[in-house]
Amino acid sequence: MLDTRNLVLASHDSSNLWESFDHPTDAILPTQTMNQGGKLIASISDMNYSSGRFMFTLQTDGNVIMYTTDFPLGTTNYAYWSTQTSVDSCFQLYYNRSGHIYIEADNESIANEIISNIVSPKFSQRVILDYDGIFRHYIYLNNSDSSAGQ
């Protein structure tokens, strides 16, 4: 497990064979990227982590869209949110350490910003497509910075 919370399976020569950041489920973490065609699938409920009724995806045209899906088939049904980004040179969605999530173009410029919260290094964070279809940014105080019991 790396400091970025990316679980990596490495070979004896330290090359990465598999890493969790390449296979997101319903959440993304700081320093994680999502390539075109990448998606998050919400869980079916708060306690059942099977694939649910909502999907977040970065399309090849640079638009990020959240869809309802036909359960249990997983096919897209209805788009209920969109960044309305349309760029020919979209490269990826990037979640940086300070809490910004944005679409980055091939020339490394920001094509569209999705979340612009600024988060102190004292906090851990994650963004999840929750079972109810809401894209939530969770922020937690790091245990080492906690003053509990004082």
* pLDDT tens digits along 6-30: 899 999 998 999 988 888 899 999 9
pLDDT score at 39: 94
Distance CA 3, CA 51 (A): 28
Distance CA 123, CA 22 (A): 24
* pLDDT tens digits along 40-79: 999 999 999 999 999 999 988 888 999 999 877 778 889 9
Distance CA 35, CA 88 (A): 14
3-class DSSP assignment, residue 84: coil
Residue-averaged pLDDT of the chain: 87
Mean pLDDT of 76-101: 86
Given a cut of 80, whether residue 127 has pLDDT beyond it is: yes
pLDDT score at 2: 87
Given a cut of 50, whether residue 148 has pLDDT beyond it is: no
Given a cut of 80, whether residue 150 has pLDDT beyond it is: no
- Given a contact cutoff of 8 angstroms between Cβ atoms, the answer to whether 64 and 93 are in contact is yes
Task: Enumerate domains of the chain plus CATH numbers.
Answer: 25-145 (2.90.10.10)
- Given a contact cutoff of 8 angstroms between Cβ atoms, the answer to whether 148 and 141 are in contact is no
